[in-house]
């Protein structure tokens, strides 16, 4: 049996001494009383509850509203580290947009044999209705959340791409606001780059993607499924912060070839819809006829160039976990460059040889559904019971194409505030990128998600994870 790899702690590295980006924070923390900080933590929870920052949990406790736990210890990233990450994310976002345009048009990457045709043709996330459709500015993924993990001083990996409707940016903004409110002295001691401009940047980026046929002031609306959606708080928050209208499907209709929203002065045309409704429910005339969440006829207007939908329908194929395994080839094919950020090694269980390996090493691997999200439908082999391994083995054998597998990485840790002081917990990072014809803008930092349970690798809020403020320092 191989010896477990040591875990890199972002605060203390492998040496146990504070790394340079944490030196000032560590000095400050050493002078603080844990009891005082825990009172501050309770106060932060009260602020979140007062603000209404909750999410809904579905399943055992149907639609139970919960707070996402917030930890006071920041995750700190150096300017040099961020430069590498942002270059890698920009490269990846450009490649994803080029890939989406290609597979809905000439499909050159398939002709070149770099991606098998069955990966596209047999993929539920591929929308034939988008074939031949070119969104305004050829931008498909206007907002991208790239999930990153770290395993060492200079070792970062892309865990997955969120190209449909990435969530969590409101928590990034509220986490920073809370830290600024409670610990202003920390921001005067550490030169931390700001994130509060995100809503303005989002509005600016979306406006740059308006259809060519529209004129005058750009009208932007956020389309939400409604108050029962798990991310409704974020939908309302972003609409408010952007100065956009928050609308539901019943507020909209097609009028004179445009999508228009109901107002006190009648129906007003919309130029850009930031939709938080899944493809299937977007247009009952094109997709699910039973949908009450979308707008009848919106796809006809979209195909005619009368509205921008962000993110574009059909982008889900770019964050499919089976397609993820081809991202190194995709990046190289469309950019002519080697990927700056590496993928996690991945076995596609649709391949018989890969499936055989996965079944033989199930207790060592992490197995995920290709369309899964939120930490559901996955197996963490080293932490699974014999019964769970047996049940998952049966799922794999029954439908192998539904799964991919990856090695269990030694994810980095960042301390959380525990009852007796600092205690390391595993983390990931979701930076947010905005794409428009003017380029790709990446907000410095992102949402750090933390597994609050000791030893756990699952950071998703739906599985008990929490969040941290993410600091990107100014140039050293």
Residue 5 confidence (pLDDT): 74
**2 pLDDT exceeds 80?**
no
What is the mean predicted confidence (pLDDT) over 445-458?
90
Residue 284 confidence (pLDDT): 97
403 found inside a domain? yes
Q: What is the pLDDT of residues 162-203, one digit of tens each?
A: 999 999 999 999 999 999 999 999 998 999 999 999 999 999
pLDDT band at residue 400, thresholds of 50, 70 and 90? Answer: very high
Cβ–Cβ < 8 Å for 282, 294: yes
Residues β-bridged to residue 268: 261
Residue 372 confidence (pLDDT): 65
371 found inside a domain? yes
pLDDT band at residue 62, thresholds of 50, 70 and 90? Answer: very low
Per the listing, tokens 């699974």 go with 384
Residue 64 confidence (pLDDT): 56
pLDDT band at residue 323, thresholds of 50, 70 and 90? Answer: very high
In 3D space, the residue among 106, 161, 103 whose CA is nearest the CA of residue 339 turns out to be 161
Residue 457 confidence (pLDDT): 82
Least-confidence region, from 5-9, 104-108, 311-315: 5-9
Cβ-proximal residues to 106 (8 Å cutoff; 6+ apart), any chain? none
> For position 381, which CATH number holds?
3.30.1490.270
Strands 365-369, 403-407: pairing is: antiparallel
364 found inside a domain? yes
**55 pLDDT exceeds 60?**
no
Q: What is the pLDDT of residues 276-308, one digit of tens each?
A: 999 999 999 999 999 999 999 999 999 999 999
Q: Which residue has the higher pLDDT, 353 or 464?
A: 353
Residue 11 confidence (pLDDT): 97
Residue 58 confidence (pLDDT): 47
**101 pLDDT exceeds 70?**
yes
Residue 54 confidence (pLDDT): 62
The count of domains in the chain is 1
Residue 56 confidence (pLDDT): 55
Residue 332 confidence (pLDDT): 98
Residue 371 confidence (pLDDT): 75
357 found inside a domain? yes
**374 pLDDT exceeds 60?**
no
What is the mean predicted confidence (pLDDT) over 304-321?
95
Residue 302 confidence (pLDDT): 97
Average pLDDT, the chain: 92
Residue 287 confidence (pLDDT): 96
Domain range for 396 is 345-408
**57 pLDDT exceeds 80?**
no
**467 pLDDT exceeds 90?**
yes
Q: What is the pLDDT of residues 225-263, one digit of tens each?
A: 999 888 899 999 999 999 999 999 999 999 999 999 999
Distance (Å, whole) CA 293 – CA 271: 19
Q: What percent of the chain has pLDDT over 90?
A: 79
Per the listing, tokens 């690798």 go with 457
Q: What is the DSSP letter of 473?
A: B
What is the mean predicted confidence (pLDDT) over 37-60?
76
Strands 220-223, 272-275: pairing is: parallel
Strands (E), 248-394: 252-255, 258-263, 266-269, 272-275, 308-310, 342-343, 347-348, 365-369, 379-380
What is the mean predicted confidence (pLDDT) over 15-39?
94
Q: What is the pLDDT of residues 196-230, one digit of tens each?
A: 999 999 999 999 999 988 888 999 999 999 998 88
358 found inside a domain? yes
Residue 219 confidence (pLDDT): 97
Residue 1 confidence (pLDDT): 44
**325 pLDDT exceeds 90?**
yes
76 found inside a domain? no
Cβ–Cβ < 8 Å for 173, 198: yes
Strands (E), 213-356: 220-223, 245-247, 252-255, 258-263, 266-269, 272-275, 308-310, 342-343, 347-348
């Amino acid at each position: 049996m191989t010896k477990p790899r040591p875990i890199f702690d972002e605060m203390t590295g492998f040496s146990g001494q504070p790394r340079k980006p944490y030196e000032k924070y560590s000095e400050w923390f050493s002078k603080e009383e844990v009891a005082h900080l825990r009172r501050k933590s309770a106060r932060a929870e009260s602020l979140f509850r007062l603000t209404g920052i909750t999410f809904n949990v579905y399943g055992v406790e149907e639609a139970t509203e919960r707070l996402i736990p917030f930890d006071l210890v920041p995750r700190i990233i150096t300017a040099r580290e961020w430069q590498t990450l942002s270059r890698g994310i920009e490269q990846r976002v450009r490649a994803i947009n080029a890939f989406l345009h290609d597979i809905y048009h000439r499909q050159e990457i398939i002709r070149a044999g770099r991606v098998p045709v069955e990966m596209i043709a047999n993929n539920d996330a591929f929308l034939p209705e988008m074939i031949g459709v070119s969104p305004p500015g050829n931008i498909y993924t206007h907002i991208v959340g790239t999930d990153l993990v770290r395993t060492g001083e200079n070792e970062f990996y892309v865990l997955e791409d969120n190209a449909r409707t990435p969530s969590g940016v409101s928590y990034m903004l509220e986490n920073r606001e809370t830290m600024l409110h409670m610990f202003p002295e920390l921001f005067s001691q550490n030169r931390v780059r700001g994130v509060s401009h995100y809503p303005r940047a989002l509005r600016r980026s979306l406006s740059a993607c308006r259809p060519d046929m529209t004129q005058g002031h750009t009208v932007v609306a956020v389309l939400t499924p409604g108050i029962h959606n798990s991310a409704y708080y974020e939908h309302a928050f972003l609409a408010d912060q952007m100065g956009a209208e928050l609308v539901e499907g019943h507020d909209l209709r097609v009028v004179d070839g445009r999508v228009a929203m109901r107002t006190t002065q009648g129906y007003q045309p919309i130029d850009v819809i930031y939709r938080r409704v899944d493809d299937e429910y977007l247009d009952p005339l094109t997709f699910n006829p039973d949908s009450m969440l979308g707008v009848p006829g919106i796809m006809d207007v979209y195909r005619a160039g009368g509205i921008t939908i962000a993110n574009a329908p059909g982008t889900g194929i770019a964050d499919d976990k089976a397609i993820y395994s081809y991202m190194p080839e995709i990046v190289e094919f469309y950019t002519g460059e080697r990927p700056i950020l590496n993928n996690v090694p991945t076995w596609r269980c649709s391949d018989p040889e890969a499936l055989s390996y996965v079944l033989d090493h199930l207790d060592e691997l992490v197995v995920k559904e290709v369309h899964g999200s939120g930490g559901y439908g996955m197996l963490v082999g080293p932490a699974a019971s014999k019964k769970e391994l047996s049940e998952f083995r049966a799922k794999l054998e029954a439908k192998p194409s539904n799964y991919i597998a990856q090695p269990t990485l030694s994810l980095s840790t960042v301390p959380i505030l525990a009852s007796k002081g600092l205690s390391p917990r595993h983390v990931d990072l979701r930076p947010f990128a905005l794409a428009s014809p003017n380029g790709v803008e990446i907000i410095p930092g992102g949402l750090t998600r933390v597994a609050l349970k000791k030893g756990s690798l699952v950071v998703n809020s739906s599985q008990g994870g929490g969040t941290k403020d993410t600091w990107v320092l100014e140039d050293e």
